Amino acid sequence: MDMLVLASASPRRRELLAQVGYVFKVHPAQIPEEPLAGEDPIAYVVRLAREKAEAVFRELTAATNGRGMDSDEGRLAVLGADTTVTLDKQILGKPEDAADAARMLRLLSGRTHRVITGVALMTEERVEVAAEATGVRFLTLRDEEIAAYVAGGEPMDKAGAYAIQGRAARWIPRVEGCYFNVVGLPLALVCSLLEGAGITAA
């Protein structure tokens, strides 16, 4: 039996992958997440997803003398993912502080932005990478709404400083594309990658 490992500390990604029936372990990757100079947003998230999957695969393989896991557990497969928000070709990652979160929300106010998630699946045989982009429309936000939302703490570990599955949902009248991608994991794309590698849900 294959062992699937999610290379992410995100509780949202854990919930989504479990939602579609996969059994997996969690082993977060520890890598720098800064974009390279002039890096395209799609290239950025795909690179990070691949680096996360590769880092965790190496760690787990090294820990078990090259087997990747106990010999009776079958093949190791590591899923990496990274999500970012882009507006006018600008990458909006996780806010540094409350002021940065408010700045991002003011940028998104009244406009449509893109949420892009890169995913990578690494096995001993190969690495498969892909990306999903979703358009998200925001209503125009008042300064006091932004201040109250930031004060509640929800934006602080989210790309673009908001959570579509949280209180920010009331500001989003339209999503163009995969909703789950905005939460953090494009499920149809991920399931296609996993099934293509012969990894099935429980």
**Cα-to-chain-centroid distance, residue 43:** 14
Are residues 39 and 59 in contact, defined by beta-carbon separation less than 8 angstroms? no
Q: How many angstroms from the chain centroid is the CA of residue 9?
A: 10
Catalytic residue annotation: 82
For the record, the structure tokens of 177 come out as 């594309």
Q: What SS3 class is residue 54?
A: helix
Angle at 173 between CA 19 and CA 181, to 5 degrees: 35
